[in-house]
Amino acid sequence: MAIVSLTLELRIEQAHSLKDRRQVVRSLKEKLRHGFNISVAELDEAVTWQSATIGVTAISSSRDYLSGLMRQVENAAVRIANDLGAQVADSWCTFLEEESEE
């Protein structure tokens, strides 16, 4: 069984308040949850109005499936963030694999 974690660093240049930032983050999280069978959460506190860190996780018996899923999620996140006036400044995946017991 494999678990993957995708971390997305967002830049929200158009945010001029915490409310603007929250609106972008909430919308991105909801759209990703609706489009994919994944868990999504904000990973950091509001350090600045113009940045955020989003974490995405999924679990499957297939590492290949998870790799493809995270590519799709990342592509969707970039597109959604752009539509919301933000950008994905950085992203990275981390895999955790559990050895199967037979």
pLDDT of residue 54: 96
Element (H, E) at 70: helix 63-83
**Which sequence spans correspond to the domains of the chain?**
2-95
CA dihedral 16, 17, 20, 22 (to 10 degrees): 140
pLDDT of residue 99: 62
Fold topology of 2-95? Alpha-Beta Plaits (3.30.70)
pLDDT of residue 101: 55
Neighbours of 50 (CB within 10 A): 16
- Going residue by residue through the chain (102 aa), what tens digit of pLDDT does each one get? 899 999 999 999 988 888 999 999 999 999 999 999 899 999 987 678 899 999 999 999 999 999 999 999 999 999 999 999 999 999 999 998 766 555
Identify any residues that bridge with 9 across adjacent strands, giving them in sequence order: 53, 90
